[in-house]
Chains A and B, each alone.
Chain A
Amino acid sequence: MNLAIRDIRYHRGRFILTSIGLGLLLGVVMSMGGIYRGLFADALAVLNFTKADIWVVQQDTNGPFAESSRIPEDIKYRIKAVPGVAEASPLSFQTIQIERMGAQFRFFLIGYDLDGFGGPPEILAGRNIRQKHYEMVVAKGMKMAIGEKIRLGLHDYTVVGITGKVVSSGGDPAAFVSLADAQDIQFKKDNDAIRNDRERIGANLSGIQTLSPAQAKFLKQNIAGITETTHTVNTIVARLAPGADLKEVQERIRRWNHFRPISVEEQTKILTKGMIEKARMQLGLFRIILLVISAVIISLIIYTSTLDKIKVIATLKLIGSQNRVIVGMILQQSLLMGVIAYGIGYVLILLTYDKFPRRIVLEPFDLQMLFVIVIAICMISSFVGIRKALKVEPAEALGG
């Protein structure tokens, strides 16, 4: 006969309530693990679907995600010419926050060369971008329909396709436009701004005494041209030819002295170690605190339920019960509570994880680890109760 289960059955109300409480706690612990995995997945999403081998960014920066990076678009020709490089394609990234349907709406705009790579990883509905201008493919997370228009910069853009779950490293949904459009949106000023710039440059130039008015006018026109150029990108991604040596290609690009060629491995490190390390530690600390709280709760419950059973334990001892019967009763109760609470937490997280605002990734390994930890906590927590039980004297069963 299993005394642990009999006792639980008799006090089922208390047991169920406690297990639900613990289950909620463990659900939060699981969700925190999932949030961390989600942060990780989000941080690496763009890196992963782009499938580039090298990310060329501005020298001395950790671009284009962790730090800003600006490089001229036409470098792509030089990179393509490096031996071992199969393809090179420019990309531009910017975070845009607009007002949409009365609320602030943030998304991540990716501009890509329609003839290169780095565009939408898949098209779930509609089609890819075909026109050089004013077309847009959005991630599902944008919650936009095909045909919907959105105003960015000076123009309206029409959604022509929907792609899967693509997010920025910050978790904002992504949208794709042609590189030229992205550059326009990022750099092109409206006509007022251009006129202002020209006036300012003109005023500065007229202040230079050594220039003749004719020279000043000539310079003014040329400089205005430079300030209006939009042929800047954030990174140029490259794929290597089969058998090419990554280190060698990186070394060649590095020798130009203006760019930093970042390998995928390095980029992963920048994104995970730098950008989400603090969040990871934060979440990790929270999980530990919650697990400690769970352990304290389990200990307390097992201890008080042992105190409730002092007379039962004394009677069992008096009629000759082996210690294993008594230890088993307490330990099994503790384990059962842990297992049930884990189950409740697990069901809870399964039912809710896709409703969280940010991605929650449930890794079987994490869940298994947590299960092992919960079992260990239950065993350790029941020690206080077991110690108390073993000290009970059979004589305590006597008297009123």
Chain B
Amino acid sequence: MDKSMYAIEVAQLTKIYGKGDTAVIAIADATFQVKPGELVAILGPSGSGKTTLLTSIGLINEPTHGKVVIDGAVVADEGWTPGLDLKRLRREKLGFIFQAHNLIPFLSAIENVMVALEINNMSRSEAKNRATELLTSLNLGHRLNNYPTALSGGEAQRVAIARALANKPKVILADEPTAALDTENGKNVMDLLKKLAVENHSAILVVTHDHRMVKGFDRIFQVSDGRIIDEETNGN
């Protein structure tokens, strides 16, 4: 089977925090694949290991056991693949969206998007054009020069989405992106992610504990105590 047909491949992924008596098995033996353009929800109560699953795939937490393949590259197999430039992989292949928007407070909306492009070595003028384009497509054309404190929660989260999309990542990882928003804005953000999965052909993994938010997702994983206990597949 051609490896690159999946954006994400996870096999027997296990993450254990701590050692000995205090060890916590946050993710146990997770195995799944996500294709480009697929929108996947990870549902589960607080403390069930959703964030850990995301950070283990997202090159932030080193998996204790198992294998992680991103866009055809084996990034972890019983620990990180030696010699990997994790930062570079993160900025080139991954886009992150957080619960709190995590915008940089001293940068305007457009600069928050530009910073992601410039650390990926895009020239300033190119970065400016791409950021303007992205923000305009997310209906933020009138907010380019506002600082995060001047944006509404929904606007700020859309700027954060623009930043995650900036480098056209193969994989977008969102950790409770609607938790800080009201229902209406939360739905809008989820709709936006659905649209982006299709348009950008990105694999999108969205963590949430609100099952009302996952309508229209391609697949829904139920997580409990670090295990994927159920998988629902929609449509097709």
Contacts and interface: CB of A to CB of B under 8 A. Distances in A.
A397 B54 CA distance: 13
Contacts of B48: none
A322 B85 CA distance: 10
Nearest to B117: A1
Contact of A399 (B60, B99, B107): B99
B115 A394 contact: no
A398 B51 contact: yes
Most chain-A CB neighbours within 10 Å: which of B89, B94, B107, B175? B107
Contacts of B104: 3, 312, 315-316
A318 interface: yes
B87 interface: yes
Interface in B95-146: 96, 98-100, 102, 104-107, 111, 114-116, 118-120, 124
Interface string A1-15: 101001101110000
B115 A3 contact: yes
Nearest to B160: A315
A397 B98 contact: yes
Nearest to B93: A320
Nearest to A397: B102
A129 B115 CA distance: 77
B111 A320 contact: no
Contacts of B194: none
B106 A6 contact: yes
B147 A10 contact: yes
B225 interface: no
Interface string A379-400: 0000000000000011101111
A13 to B, nearest CB: 13
B88 to A, nearest CB: 7
A318 B91 CA distance: 8
Interface residues of B, number: 32
B106 A317 contact: no
A400 B106 contact: no
A325 interface: yes
Contact of B119 (A311, A320, A398): A320
A1 B87 contact: no
A6 B96 CA distance: 23
A319 B96 contact: yes
Most B CB within 10 A of own CB, among A317, A320, A398: A320
A1 B114 contact: yes
Interface in A257-314: 311-312
Nearest to A9: B106
A395 B61 contact: yes
Interface residues of A, number: 25
Nearest to A399: B99
Nearest to B116: A319
A6 B111 contact: yes
A325 B120 CA distance: 11
A318 B90 contact: yes
B65 interface: no
B55 interface: yes
Contacts of B55: 395, 398
Nearest to A393: B60
A48 interface: no
A215 interface: no
A320 B105 contact: no
Interface in B173-196: 175, 180
A169 to B, nearest CB: 55
B52 to A, nearest CB: 10
B18 to A, nearest CB: 15
A325 B119 contact: yes
A312 B118 CA distance: 16
B163 interface: yes
A229 interface: no
A321 interface: yes
Contacts of A311: 102
B92 interface: yes
Contact of A1 (B60, B88, B124): B124
Interface string B50-90: 01000100001100000000000000000000000001111
Q: Which of B55, B115, B116, B120 has the most CB of A within 10 A?
A: B115
Contacts of B124: 1
Nearest to A317: B87
Contacts of A394: 60, 90
B96 A10 contact: no
A11 B149 CA distance: 14
Contact of B96 (A1, A3, A318, A325): A318
Contacts of B98: 315, 397-398
A11 B96 contact: no
Contact of B115 (A1, A317, A322): A1
B102 A10 contact: no
22 contacts: A3-B106, A3-B107, A3-B115, A6-B107, A10-B106, A311-B102, A312-B105, A318-B96, A319-B96, A319-B116, A320-B88, A320-B94, A320-B120, A321-B119, A395-B55, A397-B96, A397-B102, A398-B60, A398-B98, A398-B175, A399-B99, A400-B180
Given A10-B106, A398-B175, 12 more contacts: A1-B111, A6-B106, A6-B107, A7-B106, A318-B60, A319-B96, A319-B119, A319-B163, A320-B90, A395-B61, A399-B99, A399-B100
Interface of B: 51, 55, 60-61, 87-92, 94, 96, 98-100, 102, 104-107, 111, 114-116, 118-120, 124, 147, 163, 175, 180
A-B CB proximity, top 7 nearest: A320-B91, A10-B106, A320-B90, A7-B106, A315-B102, A320-B87, A321-B119
